[in-house]
Structure 1
Amino acid sequence: MCGITGAVWLPNSPPVDSADFDRMTDTLAHRGPDGRGVYRDDFDDGSGVLLGHRRLSIIDLGGGAQPMCNEDESVWISFNGEIYNYRELRPGLEQQGHRFRTNSDTETIVHLYEQYGDDFVTHLRGMFAIAIWDKRRRRLVLARDRLGQKPLVYCHQADRLLFASEIKAIKAISHVPLRIRNQAVDEYLTYGYIPHPGTIYDSIQKLPPAHIAVFESGRLTTSCYWNPELCPDETASTLELQEQLTCVLSDSVRLRMRSDVPLGAFLSGGIDSTIITGLMQKHAAQPTNTYTIGFPVDEFDETEYAHAAAEYLKTNHCAMEVTPNSLDLLEKLVWLFDEPYSDSSAVPTYYLSQMTRQHVKVSLTGDGGDELFAGYDRYQTVDRLRYFDRLPRPMKALLTGPWRYLIPGGGQKTVRQRLKHRLDILREPADQRYAQWLTGFPPSRRDSLYRPEFRDQVSADASLSFVANLMRRSSSLTPGMQAMRTDLRSYLPCDLLSKVDITSMAHGLECRSPFLDHHVVELAGRFSFAALSQPGKIKPMLTQTFLEMIPPSLRRRPKMGFSVPLDRWFRDDLKGFAREMLMSSDAFCHSFFEPSAVESILHEHQAGHWGHGDRIWSLLFLELWGRNT
């Protein structure tokens, strides 16, 4: 894994200054502490190109430096990620006349582009953000992996294109307009992240997962190269699919264990990470190194489960208990994420990555298992809503009527809070329900929070449309399966994978996710929802398929989120800081929000009327981001 940067400009555009570009590239030093490289080419007509690279060396430590070119220097590449099947691709390319000078996966991509053009990306099995400069055609090609494990952002101005692994690198270039996009603030409060292709800034975009972009003659075009059906296979038996899953996931783990540096695995004691670790043990000559962190708060501590899994699988296990310095870390996360992001599981992921990097440079993870194999309770709940839709209209009106306001309250994150929110969701159109389910700030809450002049500039429906449109794309499936497919294209890349990439790369740690091999994803899509999700059972299909790898004590343990005690923090440690930041006279968030509405959220939380920890974290992250921008 690495950090990449680049710039292409046309004859009538001023060249990008080399000092500016060096600063742009070195902004990503945390992603690539092992080396740097820059390629520059200025043409006679005044146009030019720059490619930059910060390297975290994993494969071919001596020969994999970038930017890299082909034999005649007509094709150049700057690449972030790993191509796991590069060894399998190489013999075919050699038979077609290509000559290799290194043992790196990077050089394989160069020759694939020479051989197949833009279709090169369909041959890759891995995670990647790729920039290829075709010198003869003066053509830039950008590509992002199928699931969005590696980030890639760009800024297209009239006569030039800037791109990088992170927004902060583009901001290092002079004269880049950085106007906040108001709709992005509403999107952020809706989901806790800003969905692709947008960012917090009008001028900067994210290249979506499974997309390729071409910049040629000043024109930028994007296209999707992978869009699997992911529909249940009625012709195959469950046993046949389980046998295929065993082989495909095992092969995915084997490929991701290729490394010229030490590697290990995150092990939480959950089903997903335990299975990945068990498969690693089968392929490894020595016990796998596994890593877990714990917190001094029982309901957020998984070390007991991780220890049970490690003992059962006989791994070389390392666990550490941490007491988060929540204030210092929050400010670090604001700098790392570049834009508002409110998933507090970034806190334990940051600490886990920090500890793991002290021992290894690569770690396998269980990310993707929940989205592929129905690991969230919400999938079952959403699936049952189809029965609600069959009820007569008077019955629906009765269930969602004014009586819902009479549900008794009291306590933290009460039954009332959850039940009222879910009853409100039933009143929404079917295609918007799941988007409403996911939101931390329902439209009514956001509406009361906004200043009138800001409210007039944003649209709740526009924010909800990101998920609603994805739900409609799979409307032929059951609601539960629709939600799974939607999460695979939204929550997974925009929230979870973004978090893992940013927090791990902050420490120079590469995370690899075997569940996210596209062969595994396509196979998982063939299982029926009934096979994947059964009342009272946790990922039954996955558990049954790999039963021998899971300790009996963990097979039916309740799912435990990787989270932190926000409600407690904002009643204790962060109480004063949150109020000071959010209620100061010069608060950044007051540009968007009514101070009295923010005060109401803080008061309700302190009084114990509602559990607003997640919402206060969201507001505080936005406030600190604004103060540091």
Structure 2
Amino acid sequence: MCGICGVHSAAEAPDPGLVRRMLGVLAHRGPDGSGYYRDERVALGHTRLAIVDTVGGVQPMGGCDEAGEQQVWVTFNGEIFNHVELAADLRARGHRFRTRSDTEVIVHAWEEWGPGCFDRFNGQWALAVWDRRSGDLVLARDRFGVRPLFYTRSGGKLLFASEVKALFADPDVPRELDPAGIDQVLTLWSTVAPQTVFRGVRQVPPGSYLTFPTVLGRSAVASTSTRFWAPGFSPQGAEPLTDLAANAEALRERLVAATRLRFERSDVPVAAYLSGGIDSAVTAGVIAAERIGHSTAAPLHTFSLRFADDEFDEGGYQALMAKRLGTVHEDVVVRERDIAEVFPDVVRHAESPLLRTGPAPMFLLSRLVRQSGFKVVVTGEGSDEVLGGYDIFREGKIRELWTRDPAAAEAAVEQLYPWMKRSPHQAPAFAKSFFGRNLVAGDPAISHRPRWDSTSVLRSMLTPAVRAACDRSPADEVLAVMPAESARWDPLSRAQWLEMTTLLPGYILASQGDRMLMGNSIEGRFPFLDPHVAELAGRVPADHKIHGMDEKHLLKIAFADLVPEEILRRPKQPYRAPDAAAFFAGGTPDWVGDVTSVAALEAAGMFRPELVQRLLEKARRTRGRGLGNTDNMRLVAVLSTQLLHSELITGSVFASAPPPEPLTVFDHTLEPIGRTPA
């Protein structure tokens, strides 16, 4: 796991000082070393978190052709978990290796298969390939978007980096929030690639690669954007995998293999998260079970997040699973004021407005992991999206039923939200209003309309100028790129596609995932996002994933012997953290007043100051505890957006010190290469 960056210039050799400044901004992603490659057209930078082949895997890395010249160069963030098998295949094809690193496998795989290598990778990656033979710079991102990759154009240059703040190391890159990106967040909870919340900055979409050709005298232009993978599901009417027992056995086999691969392919110790739910119980349980009988194996280390407020705490279930597995267990107990204190750091790392404070406790948890001496942690992320675990999927099932049998749908509502103090079934009129709102039979977004409608209310806080600049509905933008074959999917599959396109890459794996982990130099690994697991899940019937109202039904059957009954059958409880109360219940930190002053609000230009002041007064009056769901989201959205403006737009975070010496430097003076203009 690392940070990558680079510059492509068609006019002159990239400035090494710029690359080093970019590396300095990314130092937290790779504190174990750094380096850069530079020639007459391209500079590639890398900060390293050494996990595989800690001695030999220095980057950027080049591969030698038959004449001994290094024609293909790679800078890479992530892991290719099947690199051992790929290396064996490539050796059989005549390739020679000088390291054990997965980075070198990428170099040889590109030489052998070109962009076809991405289909062969089982992993999580963001990478850049500079192919001097063709003059092409290629940026690629893994299937689900686990690892981030951003780019922008400035002054005849193309710049790319793992984080946006590294792009801002170039003073020629404008720093400005993009109303269209903010608008997406305030409806969908995140932007959808290639959109970002920064004007002029784009991101490589998950499962895609972009090709930038070198044309002498011209700035780099993305000539192609190619999708090599997208979520897929069996069409209705096709012959699905209907045998429940066989599917459970197949899921167990694939998930065990995926977990083993992510646990064993590391030259440093690997730990695991325990959340108290079934997903992390399965991954940690598989690791512990697979290690039984290994006489030299040390006990598995597990880490948990707890809350001082019982409403959010799952400590009892975490302790139960840790005891059953016999792990060395540590946890961090988060108080409301802890969230407020760390929130500016959280937003700076997230590089996005947030609608919930959930990323903050995850940042504190990864800090504990780092302090305990680990660099790698296996987690349960992705299970809900792949196997049908979210309430939004069950809500979609009820809404679809409501179009056919309202009485049956009303009865089914009682099975939802058992964890809520004010469940909708206790207020039938509200339930009918919520589930029956904006209801159209056959709507491909029938599952997501309530969330999008309720979240988009936040847009009323935006200034008239910002709202006028947002000329397209974020929901319509997503539906416009929904694949044509989705018309033949069942409603759950369409809901899963929407979640995998919006919330998963943009929030779960980004704001709450990669950014909170890498903020403390920790790599997360996610067995449920293994392509073989996802492929199987896309082929099983919907009622194997949600049986009645029982979510992740197939997963529970597959691991019934491994997970305690208390966890296996506990009601689904989503991860939540205190929101407004974190900033007002136990005292308000000074930064809240700083970023929400009228002057700060007018400088950012996003929110109407008079509405923000009313919201703040309400939060102060109730100490943050009397706010409803919408006002909680409004408050967090305003605070995080204002922090984002303060930290990344007007602040000096991009001017971090260069990485410490020595750097690994490959600085070449080469003849100009590339295509001449037509």
What TM-score, normalized to structure 2?
A: 0.84
Amino acid at match of 2:25: T
Instruction: Give the C-alpha shift of residue 211 in structure 1.
Output: 0.2
1:559 correspondence with 2:578: no
1:591 corresponds in structure 2 to: 605
2:540 corresponds in structure 1 to: 527
1:85, 1:452 → 2: CA distance?
51
Instruction: Give the C-alpha shift of residue 278 in structure 1.
Output: 1.1
Of 270, 280, 283, the residue aligned with 1:273 is 280
Q: Could you list the runs of 5+ residues in structure 1 that have no partner in the other structure? A: 43-47, 400-409
Amino acid at match of 1:162: L
1:19 corresponds in structure 2 to: 17
Structure-to-structure mapping, 1:166-245, within 5 angstroms? 166-216=163-213, 217=215, 218-220=220-222, 221-231=224-234, 233-245=239-251
The answer to whether the Cα contact below 8 Å between 1:538 and 1:556 also exists between their aligned partners in 2 is: no
The answer to whether the Cα contact below 8 Å between 1:186 and 1:463 also exists between their aligned partners in 2 is: no
1:272, 1:380 → 2: CA distance?
18
Of 487, 492, 495, the residue aligned with 1:475 is 487
Amino acid at match of 1:518: P
1:621, 1:386 → 2: CA distance?
35
Instruction: Give the C-alpha shift of residue 424 in structure 1.
Output: 3.6
Amino acid at match of 1:29: A
1:411, 1:83 → 2: CA distance?
45
1:491 correspondence with 2:510: no
1:121 correspondence with 2:118: yes
1:290 corresponds in structure 2 to: 302
Structure-to-structure mapping, 1:256-267, within 5 angstroms? 256-257=262-263, 258-267=265-274
1:576, 1:332 → 2: CA distance?
14
1:254 corresponds in structure 2 to: 260
> What do the CA deviations read for 1:555-586 (whole angstroms, capped 9, x no partner)?
21122222211143355136686873565221
1:65 corresponds in structure 2 to: 58
Judged with a 3 Å threshold, the aligned counterparts in structure 2 of structure 1 residues 558 and 575 are, in CA distance, closer, same or farther, namely farther
Of 304, 315, 324, the residue aligned with 1:312 is 324
Of 26, 31, 52, the residue aligned with 1:33 is 31
Instruction: Give the C-alpha shift of residue 283 in structure 1.
Output: 2.1
The answer to whether the Cα contact below 8 Å between 2:192 and 2:501 also exists between their aligned partners in 1 is: no
Amino acid at match of 1:331: P
Q: Quote the sequence identity (%).
A: 33
The answer to whether the Cα contact below 8 Å between 2:37 and 2:45 also exists between their aligned partners in 1 is: yes
2:128, 2:105 → 1: CA distance?
14
Question: Which stretch of structure 1 is more off in the superposition, 125-134 or 581-590?
Answer: 581-590
1:402 corresponds in structure 2 to: none
> What do the CA deviations read for 1:205-251 (whole angstroms, capped 9, x no partner)?
01010001111033312110013532265254122221211111111
The answer to whether the Cα contact below 8 Å between 1:294 and 1:303 also exists between their aligned partners in 2 is: yes
> What do the CA deviations read for 1:311-368 (whole angstroms, capped 9, x no partner)?
1122222223233522331110121122323342111211111111223211100001
Judged with a 3 Å threshold, the aligned counterparts in structure 2 of structure 1 residues 235 and 271 are, in CA distance, closer, same or farther, namely closer
1:96 corresponds in structure 2 to: 93
1:549 correspondence with 2:551: no
Determine helix, strand or coil for the equivalent of 1:272.
helix
1:339, 1:489 → 2: CA distance?
17
Judged with a 3 Å threshold, the aligned counterparts in structure 2 of structure 1 residues 200 and 473 are, in CA distance, closer, same or farther, namely farther
Greater RCO (CA < 8 Å, at least 6 residues apart):
2
> What do the CA deviations read for 1:452-502 (whole angstroms, capped 9, x no partner)?
333222136245532574387623223233112221222111110002111
1:569 corresponds in structure 2 to: 582
Determine helix, strand or coil for the equivalent of 1:562.
coil
The answer to whether the Cα contact below 8 Å between 1:435 and 1:464 also exists between their aligned partners in 2 is: no
1:78 correspondence with 2:78: no
1:466 corresponds in structure 2 to: 478
The answer to whether the Cα contact below 8 Å between 1:579 and 1:602 also exists between their aligned partners in 2 is: no
Amino acid at match of 2:579: L
1:84, 1:383 → 2: CA distance?
36
Instruction: Give the C-alpha shift of residue 512 in structure 1.
Output: 0.3
1:386 correspondence with 2:400: yes
2:385 corresponds in structure 1 to: 371
The answer to whether the Cα contact below 8 Å between 1:292 and 1:306 also exists between their aligned partners in 2 is: yes
Determine helix, strand or coil for the equivalent of 1:30.
helix
> What do the CA deviations read for 1:78-123 (whole angstroms, capped 9, x no partner)?
0000011111111211111110000111101100000011111111
What TM-score, normalized to structure 1?
A: 0.90
1:432, 1:599 → 2: CA distance?
35
1:515 correspondence with 2:531: no
1:154, 1:296 → 2: CA distance?
41
The answer to whether the Cα contact below 8 Å between 1:192 and 1:440 also exists between their aligned partners in 2 is: no
Instruction: Give the C-alpha shift of residue 253 in structure 1.
Output: 0.8
Instruction: Give the C-alpha shift of residue 390 in structure 1.
Output: 4.2
Amino acid at match of 2:266: S
Question: Which stretch of structure 1 is more off in the superposition, 157-166 or 484-493?
Answer: 157-166
1:505, 1:579 → 2: CA distance?
25
Amino acid at match of 2:255: L
1:423, 1:502 → 2: CA distance?
37
Q: Could you list the runs of 5+ residues in structure 2 that have no partner in the other structure? A: 411-420, 650-678
1:621 corresponds in structure 2 to: 640
The answer to whether the Cα contact below 8 Å between 2:187 and 2:474 also exists between their aligned partners in 1 is: no
The answer to whether the Cα contact below 8 Å between 1:154 and 1:161 also exists between their aligned partners in 2 is: yes
Judged with a 3 Å threshold, the aligned counterparts in structure 2 of structure 1 residues 164 and 331 are, in CA distance, closer, same or farther, namely same
Judged with a 3 Å threshold, the aligned counterparts in structure 2 of structure 1 residues 130 and 537 are, in CA distance, closer, same or farther, namely same
Amino acid at match of 1:119: G
1:53 corresponds in structure 2 to: 46
Judged with a 3 Å threshold, the aligned counterparts in structure 2 of structure 1 residues 67 and 378 are, in CA distance, closer, same or farther, namely same
2:466, 2:523 → 1: CA distance?
40
2:259, 2:376 → 1: CA distance?
13
The answer to whether the Cα contact below 8 Å between 2:34 and 2:59 also exists between their aligned partners in 1 is: yes
